[in-house]
Chain A
Amino acid sequence: MYKLILKMAWKNSFIRLSRTLLVIIMIAVSMSMMLGIQGIYDGMVNNMVDKNKRSDSGDISIFAKDYRVNRDLIYRVKNAHEIKDEIQKMDGVEAVALRLRAEGLLSTARKSSFALVIGIDLKEEERFGKFSEFLKEGAIDLQKQGAIIGIELAKTLKVRVGSKVIFSTQDGSGEINSIALYIRAIVQTTNIALDNSAIFIDIDQLHKFLGTASTEATQIAVRGDGLYDKLKAKYPNLDVKSFLELQPMIKQMQDLMVIFNSVTFFIVMSVVFVGIFGVMYVSILDRIREFGIMLSVGMHYKYIRLQIFFEALFVGLIGYLSGAVLGAVILIYLKNHGIDLSSFSDALEMWGYESTIHGTIKISYFTTTFASIITASILSILIPLRKIKKLNPIEVIKADK
């Protein structure tokens, strides 16, 4: 019996082929567009989160108390190396990097700009965030007063690889001091703060220049999961901050993206529901005499209900599968090739994005869409089913078409 119902449902689903195809196309097009949009928006934010973690804050950053408020060299972590060794021994720690920062004036012979000098250990940064992947021009090398400059700062000062720059700042003892640096590379971290103002030099050289002890640092960045509470408890006298505490704007961006995607999803699915409902309703009304006859020859209502349920399911499922295939193709393309917006590169770089924006793929895109489309398909038959339930078979058979 069930086999027959399934067979009838399948055939009836395509009895009005154009109508069914229109619904399938509607589901497929709207679903694939929605997946593409979600993928690209999530990709933009994920890319920003990833690059920010790798280039700067990690999953957790530790500072001396008051450093983040005053941004002054006097607030530095004195026993940074010791703390680094302790953290490295903890479970779940992937990498730790020490950094020393000082704000000052970066000048060429023609231009000057506010800048942030950051002392780094290249090997450590490579382990921490694959620093070499940020390279845009030149070679990653900090030897012999070499420096690596952020892309926007390089544009502001009109410097190239090989240019000489002078960095002036107040050193650890309060005296104004200057150092000549040679640009070896230009990097794009897509972290606005770093791209706009950072110049990276070797941490030992910066210690020497600023007159600070080599065991000190202004930031201890940590990569690893589930460490926040442990580190906060272990170092109560230091300022332990999670990535999202340090980047509230990214947190808000993520929240906004979730709200935007949810609202879009809800609106699109509601409209899709209206479309499926219209087709299912008319499809059932068209065959009202047929259902009357089926009831009058003794077929139980539950079998008719099952048949209509399968019809809706087939249409929804085929629409979903077409949309999923089309959506997957779009998402794979966006992930591998991205959207090339290099004609807007100035603006994108200013806003911390790469000129080619890559999408992301999450299984949840497909599962939530599956649940929504199947729900919309099933809900769309509730009203037509009520109509059939109230049918008087004799009256329906007698009625004119």
Chain B
Amino acid sequence: MFKLALKNTLFYKGRSIATAILTFVSTMLFILFISLQDGSHNSMLENSLKIYTGAIEIYRKDYRDVGGNEYLIEDAKAITDKLAKIDAIEAFSTRYETYGLFSSKEYSAASMVAGIEPNKEKVLSSLGSALKEGRFLDENIGNCIYMGAELVKKLKLGIDDEVAFVGGASDDSFAADIFKLCGVFKTGLFEFDSSASFVSRSYLDELMHAKNKASYITIKLKNINDAEKVNSEIIKILGDKELESLTWKTLMKSMVEAMEIDAIFGYISLSLFLVVIFFVIMIYGFINISSRIKEFGVLRSIGLSKKNIFLLLFYEIFILSTISVILATPIAAYICYYYHINPVVIEGIADMYKDYGVVSDEIPFNFDIFTIFWNVTIVYMLNFLSILYPYLYINSFKPIEATRHV
């Protein structure tokens, strides 16, 4: 039956070429589209995770929902001692965050001030590498402040300039101090660069009465794909119902949802192409079958069953689909791989979409064998589906009737 199918595909050249070309186009389109979509989503998530948010963060319950000093973690060391025992954790650090007003000689602006452990942050986040001017913090750098570029612009500050701060301390008292601008960072995340500043924890703890307290503890994992597993382990080892440990999927819920919506609209657009191509493949298959009714009548009359006829049609579409997929997949996979290593650069896109959290002009493709595999599987399935109607049509004829068909 396979041999007969092979001969048929070679004999009916018009149908074979049209089907093969359309399958080739849909395979390429499908693989490249999904790769680009997944790649840009992964890149947005990775960039956001790299900048400041941890793969896992530990909070005292209600800190995120209600907020306030009574929901600070009171004994941060007890928790970090436990975290040190978990192998899958690459690094962790405590952070203390508060808000206040900064005033330079002429200008004022509101900002978040976070007390960080500079040496640990170098491993945990890209704060250190986002340095644009001056220097990053170290543990004993005193009243040095590390500010976002947009905030510095707003306050019209220069390196080594002094800036006054007024805010609230961890005991609800007023806290005021004068900081010296030591470094300026630019992550590309517009909102973050215009509203965040950092001070070494050792100095800020004194000012805010926040020794051993923390707003939260941020964690970097050796492998981010283990986040759920490690999170369960953390919850177990902490054994404290007053604490909550959350993975990046919860911490960045809005962004994860945004990616899902974008993917839904992407699939809707893609489905339009696939549906049209499916119809055309089916039409060509149907035209081909219509012109071979007599042939099928003869085949049925000499003893071939309906199952054999189905097998014949199946082999024909299988041969055509396989030829196209074998040609299209390596080309598409290579393009995905190439642009995965060398992302497409669209100058100015990060600046244009800064409000949407786009921090880079680079748009990488995603190269994932499993994704390519399921893309190809769907193309195969659509092609197999396209023979169903022609098969039902041919079966509507009785063998004798079919042999007489004109």
Contact = CB atoms under 8 A, between A and B. Distances in A.
Interface of A: 16, 18-19, 22-23, 25-26, 29-30, 33-34, 37, 41, 71-72, 103-115, 158, 168-170, 174, 176, 192-193, 196, 248-249, 252, 260, 264, 267-268, 271-272, 274-275, 278-279, 282, 286, 341, 344, 346-348, 350-352, 401
Interface string B1-31: 0000000000000000010001000000000
B283 A19 contact: yes
B282 A22 contact: yes
A249 B355 contact: yes
Contact of B287 (A268, A271, A279, A350): A279
Nearest to B25: A271
B406 interface: yes
B191 to A, nearest CB: 8
Given A18-B286, A113-B110, A170-B108, A278 B276 contact: no
Contacts of A249: 352-353, 355
Interface stretch (B98-106, B223-231, B335-343, B374-382): B98-106
Interface string B184-207: 000000010011000000000000
B330 interface: no
A26 B279 contact: yes
Q: Is the interface of B mostly helix, strand, loop or mixed?
A: helix
B139 interface: no
B100 A29 contact: no
B68 interface: yes
B103 A170 contact: yes
B308 interface: no
Interface in B237-263: 253-258, 260-261
B373 interface: no
B326 to A, nearest CB: 22
A248 B167 CA distance: 36
Contacts, number: 157
Given A22-B286, A401-B406, A347 B107 contact: no
Nearest to B282: A22
Interface string B72-109: 00000000000000000000000000111101001111
B101 A168 contact: yes
Given A114-B195, A278-B283, A351 B68 contact: no
Given A104-B110, A105-B100, A278-B280, A344 B18 contact: no
B99 A105 contact: yes
B67 A158 contact: yes
Nearest to A33: B272
Contacts of A169: 101, 108, 110
A260 B268 CA distance: 13
A350 B254 contact: yes
A111 B68 contact: yes
B273 interface: yes
B280 A271 contact: yes
Nearest to B64: A158
Contacts of A347: 253-258, 260-261
Contact of A105 (B110, B260, B273, B275): B110
Contacts of A37: 268-269, 272
Given A112-B100, A176-B108, A268 B276 contact: yes
Contacts of B18: 274, 278
Contact of B286 (A19, A174, A192, A401): A19
B22 A271 contact: yes
A268 B257 contact: no
Contact of A264 (B106, B253, B258, B269): B269
B111 interface: yes
A37 B22 CA distance: 22
Contacts of B103: 170, 176
B393 interface: yes
A279 B275 contact: no
A3 to B, nearest CB: 29
Which one of B261, B265, B280 has the greatest number of beta carbons of chain A within 10 Å? B280
Nearest to B106: A174
Interface string B277-292: 1011011101100110
B302 interface: no
A41 B265 CA distance: 9
Interface in B282-333: 282-284, 286-287, 290-291
A109 B67 CA distance: 9
B68 A109 contact: yes
Given A37-B269, A401-B406, A25 B279 contact: yes
A282 B284 CA distance: 10
8 contacts: A19-B286, A114-B110, A170-B103, A174-B106, A252-B352, A267-B273, A268-B272, A274-B280
B222 interface: no
Contacts of A168: 101, 110
Given A104-B110, A196-B191, 16 more contacts: A18-B286, A22-B282, A33-B272, A41-B265, A105-B101, A114-B112, A170-B107, A271-B22, A272-B276, A278-B18, A282-B290, A286-B291, A344-B257, A346-B257, A347-B257, A347-B258
A168 B352 CA distance: 30
A257 B67 CA distance: 41
Given A16-B290, A344-B260, A346-B257, A271 B101 contact: no
Contacts of A252: 352
Given A176-B103, A249-B353, A351-B258, A18 B275 contact: no
A26 B280 CA distance: 8
A248 B352 contact: yes
Which one of B22, B260, B283 has the greatest number of beta carbons of chain A within 10 Å? B283
B49 to A, nearest CB: 17
Which one of A19, A37, A278 has the greatest number of beta carbons of chain B within 10 Å? A278
A379 to B, nearest CB: 15
Shortest 3 CB-CB distances between A and B: which pairs?
A112-B99, A110-B68, A105-B110
Nearest to A193: B355
Contacts of B282: 22
B261 A26 contact: no
B65 interface: yes
B66 interface: yes
A282 B292 CA distance: 13
A274 B194 CA distance: 54
A150 to B, nearest CB: 14
A216 B277 CA distance: 61
A174 B282 CA distance: 74
B283 A115 contact: no
B174 interface: no
A111 B63 CA distance: 10
Nearest to A167: B110
A275 B255 contact: no
B334 interface: no
Contacts of B65: 158
B47 to A, nearest CB: 16
A279 B283 contact: yes
